[in-house]
Amino acid sequence: MLLIRKLWVIQKTLKTMLDLNQFSHSHDSLEIIHRGHLSCVRKTFHSDLERAQRNVAKQRQFRPIYTGTAKVAAAEVIEFHMRSDSAELLMPYIEGITGHMFPVHATRNVAHTLSASLSTLLYAELTESREALVETSLFRDKLSSVSEATQDLALKQLVDNCTAVVDRFPAELLMPIGPCHGDLTLSNLILDPASGITLIDFLETFLETPLQDVAKLKQDFVYGWSFRKDPPALVIKAEILCHHHLPQAIVQIERMYPDQVRLLTMMTLARIAPYVTDSVTQRWLVRSLTDCLGATPQ
Ligand SMILES: Nc1ncnc2c1ncn2[C@@H]1O[C@H](COP(=O)(O)OP(=O)(O)O)[C@@H](O)[C@H]1O
Ligand SMILES: [Mg+2]
């Protein structure tokens, strides 16, 4: 009897340890499965399957980048199946540090590898881009639908303030149009401290530009999105590491496209507003959007 109970406890503990869904930020489900010697992650998409297919195509098309100090690759797509009411993606399980685990494991060396790898990625994206004029009405329209979908009054006001800032930009802005991950937050990359990063969870965006990735990285490195719910001691550690290891490419690209990066950072933050369901995130977003708006010349 005791043995059966022990086995049950071990099985339950293993199940909890292997449950990746606790790290999920969407309604898609994640499962670890074993195929011979290979451990894999199976991600099942339950909605917007056509978009999921395009996102996985982005992951497949990503060409690995190697430099002397960094490696950036996408997680291999082993299989992808579309079914009538779901789609399934099979990838290898990638060992490494991801998302909110960064401040727990990060040392200066880890932060350095992360920073160098991200710069390598951003420069590569920029090299493959070409400049084009983008109508600012595109951002105004997006913000107006974000405002409509936002329930929280303080956040709605801030989103409307963003629209007022967009109104002061010229009708068209020059932007580098080209490849981007589309949702480059720390939870969508897995870092091997010895080499570099593996990208997961690619996302099609309304405007394919490397500046999207710059904006999402600022959301983590400058505003601390991924650490917002961590204990204060870890938040301080993360803030110090992010301050000292902000990828050099972000600094340079911001110098090249100051208004454009500000605009996309504002958009990236504003688009969280309709989905806020807890008070920590609400306070974090009010603080971050206020800061971002303050940084915008009036
Ligand atoms: N191939 C993988 N190897 C290791 N961990 C993974 C893998 N895919 C996902 N994960 C883990 O699951 C989390 C959520 O996966 P993700 O694909 O980003 O789903 P969501 O769409 O819910 O954000 C990741 O942050 C990571 O911790
Ligand atoms: Mg994700």
Residue 26 CB less than 6 A away from ligand 1: yes
CB-ligand 1 contact for 187 (6 Å cutoff): yes
Q: Which atom of ligand 1 is nearest to the CA of 40?
A: 1
C-alpha 247/C-alpha 296 separation (Å) is: 21
Token pair, residue 55, equals: 């996102």
Closest to 261 (Cα-Cα) out of 226, 269, 39, 244? 269
Mutate to test the pocket of ligand 1, among 19, 24, 100 (most ligand atoms within 8 A of CB): 24
Task: Tell me the CA distances in angstroms from 255 to 185, 247, 248, 249, 260, one per residue in order.
Answer: 22, 13, 11, 10, 10
Residue 120 host element (H or E): helix 108-127
Q: Is 276 in the pocket of ligand 1 (CB under 6 A)?
A: no
CA of 71 to the centre of ligand 2 (A): 20
Nearest atom, ligand 1, residue 91 CA: 1
Compute the distance between CA of residue 109 and CA of residue 111 in angstroms, rounded to an integer. Answer: 5
| CA–CA separation, 116 and 95 (whole Å) | 19
Atom of ligand 1 nearest to the CA of 94: 3
pLDDT tens digits, the chain, 298 residues: what are they?
Answer: 555 665 555 555 555 445 667 666 677 899 999 998 999 999 999 999 999 999 999 999 999 999 887 899 999 999 999 999 999 999 999 999 998 788 888 888 899 999 999 999 999 999 999 999 999 999 999 999 999 999 999 999 999 999 999 999 999 999 999 999 999 999 999 999 888 999 999 999 999 999 999 999 999 999 999 999 999 999 999 999 999 999 999 999 999 999 999 999 999 999 999 999 999 999 999 999 999 999 654 4
- For residue 204, the model assigns a pLDDT of 96
184 Cβ closer than 6 Å to some ligand 1 atom: no
Fold (CATH) for 2-136+171-256: Transferase(Phosphotransferase); domain 1 (1.10.510)
Residue 3 Cα to ligand 2 midpoint, Å, equals 39
Choosing from 19, 28, 29, 41 the residue with most ligand 1 atoms within 8 A of its CB, the one to mutate for a pocket test is 41
Ligand nearest to the CA of 30: 1
Q: Which amino acid is at 65?
A: I
pLDDT for the residue numbered 68:
81
Ligand nearest to C-alpha 42: 1
The residue among 153, 205, 137, 146 whose CA lies nearest residue 177 is 205
**Please, what's the b/e burial string for 79-118 (b: 16 or more CB within 10 A of its CB; e: otherwise)?**
ebeeeeeebbbbbeebebbbbbbbbeebeeebbbbbbbbb
